């Protein structure tokens, strides 16, 4: 049926193909909650505080988080573009695309989800919502961009065609303008997290994709070369890959092929600022520490193949217009109170690398804490001090940890202390001089960068050390063997740095002060809470199955 022949559902504000609605759902209760969240919020924009505060579980996080939209931020989407969004879900991506000013046709097969899109985009006249299986809609126009964000893997399940993945790609190619682009975000079945024992995202079973257990009508993901070959065989003249971390669902970092290939650009350092997510309560095997592995993968040229997800831009022509050919990567900070959300963009320019940090939102900063958004600066080649320190702790190299912490404190004593002659008092502008913001360059010198925050008054050097160490407080395994308590961890580190021990009350005072400052910037919540009881039940069942398998097969295999 043609789009202009579809009936308009006044109640839900969607164009509907009633005979071709599909039954995909997160559950009626979850989708009603999402709809009510939009309905009862005055602001349904990407950075809506009302929606952020409604996050209570994984389903609501997926639909309401501020991070979903980052998957498309590296693309040069313009107001004049016509975009077809296929499988638009509950509108997280639709809302972002609508805010670009482009003309959006959002197609969603589930009516309960389609009405969520219409409600979230109720103030955007440039977003049209269609409820139908996309295979059953005829479009009268061609598009500049077609998006499949977390959708392509479902093709076989909802298609009646033979060879559904190829047929779908061929049909999308026909809907594009001559220089149009197909944008796909999808899990990599060979992603590192799956080797680490994380369950396959769609089947909650470890190694399901690695072992290619997919059936004919299964939700199916692919490796890098598999999907690239499909696109080439389906008539796309050029294909460009980007790599979102931890994955396409909640991207904090997106890297380009050029970024990973550039020897001067430390891609693994950016990846380690992300944390892999496990999306179901079934236990994962925890076979390796992903944090430590990324460095080895970069050294051996395996980052692309083992990225957890892909963002793919495929074009009918050789000319690629959506991705800046200088782009190396982007890093997003989206969990803050507006207008403090930012992103850093890395580009190859003038025979070097340039970094530019910009706001994602709008508005004036609070006077209680200054936010410095720098102009374009030179990229500092080297390794992030925080990752070196954390690596030493993970590997239980405690003397190395002490040495690194002392070097950092000595650096602060040389560069950041007050001119008033007071002992170990740090200038207010060095509030952000943490190991996160120090690069150890090729000559082993410390290079400070991105001093984003500045407080009003100078502060004790010990406060800065406690501020940094407190970021590790919940990860007790990290300092196990160094100290049996967090206070002991802090005091042993302070002594190693030539500073005095502090009392428990002083620790709480420092942490309280830090929390007061951070609460002016960071929004609390925004993450799905852990399902501890359910996880423990699944863990017990999982272990019982392992024992059964071992008794039936493992004992005999050892003979």
**C-alpha–C-alpha distance, residues 253 and 247, integer Å:** 9
pLDDT digits (tens, 9 = 90+) for 362-412: 654 454 566 777 678 999 999 999 999 999 999 999 999 999 999 999 999
The span from the CA of 227 to the CA of 362, in Å, is 38
Report the distance separating Cα 244 and Cα 133, nearest Å. 28
Helix residue ranges per DSSP H, 53-202: 58-64, 92-99, 111-120, 155-158, 164-175, 192-195
Q: What is the pLDDT of residue 220?
A: 96
Closest CA to 193 of 252, 137, 274, 121: 274
Phi first, then psi: give them for residue 398, nearest 5 degrees. -70, -30
Q: Position of tokens 């929606």? A: 51
Number of helices (H) and strands (E), helices first, in the chain? 21, 21
3-state secondary structure of 409: helix
Q: Which residues, in sequence order, are CB contacts of 62 under 8 Å at separation 6+?
A: 68, 92, 249
| Alpha carbons 14 and 6: distance in angstroms, whole number | 9
Rg (CA), the chain: 25
Q: Which two tokens stand for residue 200?
A: 């396959």
The three-class DSSP label of residue 226 is helix
The SS3 of residue 413 is helix
Handedness of CA 361, 362, 368, 372 (dihedral sign): positive
Biggest CA pair distance of the chain: 79
- pLDDT (0 to 100) of residue 548: 63
Measured torsion, CA atoms of residues 88, 92, 95, 98, in degrees rounded to the nearest 10: -50
Q: Contact 223/188 with Cβ under 8 angstroms? A: yes
DSSP three-state, residue 91: coil
70, 100, 97, 71: which is closest to 85 by C-alpha? 97
- 291 membership: H or E segment, kind and range: helix 290-299
Which residues have CB under 8 Å from 553's CB, separation 6+? none
∠ Cα 520 522 527 (to 5°) = 150
Spell out, as residue ranges, where the chain has pLDDT lower than 50. Answer: 364-365, 367, 556-559
Residue 391's nearest CA partner among 290, 267, 253, 291 is 291
pLDDT at res. 557: 47
> Considering the entire predicted model, what is its pTM?
0.91
Q: In this predicted model, what pLDDT tens digit does every residue of 215-231 receive, in sequence order?
A: 999 999 999 999 999 99
């Amino acid at each position: 049926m043609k789009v202009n022949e579809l009936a308009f559902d006044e109640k839900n504000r969607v164009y509907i193909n009633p005979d071709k609605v599909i039954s995909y759902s997160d559950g009626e209760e979850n989708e009603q909650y999402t709809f009510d969240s939009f309905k009862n919020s005055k602001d349904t924009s990407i950075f809506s505080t009302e929606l952020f505060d409604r996050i209570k579980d994984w389903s609501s996080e997926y639909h309401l988080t501020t991070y979903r939209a980052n998957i498309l931020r590296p693309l040069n989407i313009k107001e004049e573009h016509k975009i077809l969004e296929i499988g638009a879900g509950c509108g997280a991506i639709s809302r972002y695309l609508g805010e670009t000013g482009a003309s959006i046709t959002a197609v969603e097969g589930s009516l309960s989800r389609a009405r969520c899109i219409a409600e979230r985009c109720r103030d955007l006249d440039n977003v049209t919502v269609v409820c139908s299986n996309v295979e059953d809609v005829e479009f009268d126009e061609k598009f500049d961009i077609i998006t499949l964000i977390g959708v392509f893997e479902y093709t076989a399940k909802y298609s009646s065609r033979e060879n559904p993945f190829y047929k779908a790609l061929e049909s999308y190619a026909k809907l594009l303008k001559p220089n149009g682009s197909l944008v796909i975000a999808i899990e990599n079945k060979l992603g590192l997290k799956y080797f680490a024992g994380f369950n396959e995202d769609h089947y909650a079973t470890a190694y399901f994709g690695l072992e290619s257990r997919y059936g004919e009508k299964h939700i199916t993901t692919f490796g890098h070369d598999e999907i690239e070959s499909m696109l080439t065989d389906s008539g796309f003249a050029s294909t460009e890959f980007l790599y979102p971390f931890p994955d396409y669902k909640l991207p904090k970092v997106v890297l380009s092929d050029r970024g990973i290939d550039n020897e001067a650009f430390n891609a693994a350092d950016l990846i380690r600022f992300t944390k892999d997510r496990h999306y179901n309560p079934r236990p994962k095997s925890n076979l390796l520490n992903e944090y430590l592995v990324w460095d080895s993968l970069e050294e051996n040229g395996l980052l692309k193949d083992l990225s957890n997800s892909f963002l793919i831009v495929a074009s009918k022509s050789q000319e690629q217009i959506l991705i800046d050919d200088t782009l190396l990567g982007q890093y997003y900070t989206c969990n803050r109170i507006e207008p403090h959300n930012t992103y850093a963009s890395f580009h190859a320019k003038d025979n070097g690398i340039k970094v530019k940090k910009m706001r994602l939102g709008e508005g004036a900063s609070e006077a209680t804490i200054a936010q410095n958004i720098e102009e374009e600066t030179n990229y500092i080649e080297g390794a992030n001090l925080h990752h070196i320190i954390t690596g030493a702790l993970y590997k239980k190299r405690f003397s190395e940890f002490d040495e690194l912490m002392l070097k950092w404190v000595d650096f602060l004593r040389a560069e950041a202390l007050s001119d008033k002659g007071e002992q170990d008092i740090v200038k207010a502008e060095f509030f952000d001089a943490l190991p996160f913001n120090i690069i150890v360059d090729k000559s082993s010198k410390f290079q400070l960068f991105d001093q984003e925050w500045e407080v009003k008054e100078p502060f004790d050097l010990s406060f800065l050390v406690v501020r940094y160490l407190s970021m590790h407080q919940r990860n007790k395994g990290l300092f196990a063997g160094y100290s049996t308590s967090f206070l002991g961890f802090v005091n042993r580190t302070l002594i190693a740095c030539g500073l005095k021990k502090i009392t428990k009350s002083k620790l709480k005072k420092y942490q309280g002060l830090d929390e007061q400052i951070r609460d002016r910037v960071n929004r609390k919540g925004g993450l799905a809470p852990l399902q501890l009881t359910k996880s423990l039940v699944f863990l017990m069942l999982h272990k019982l199955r392992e024992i059964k398998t071992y008794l039936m097969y493992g004992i005999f295999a050892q003979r």
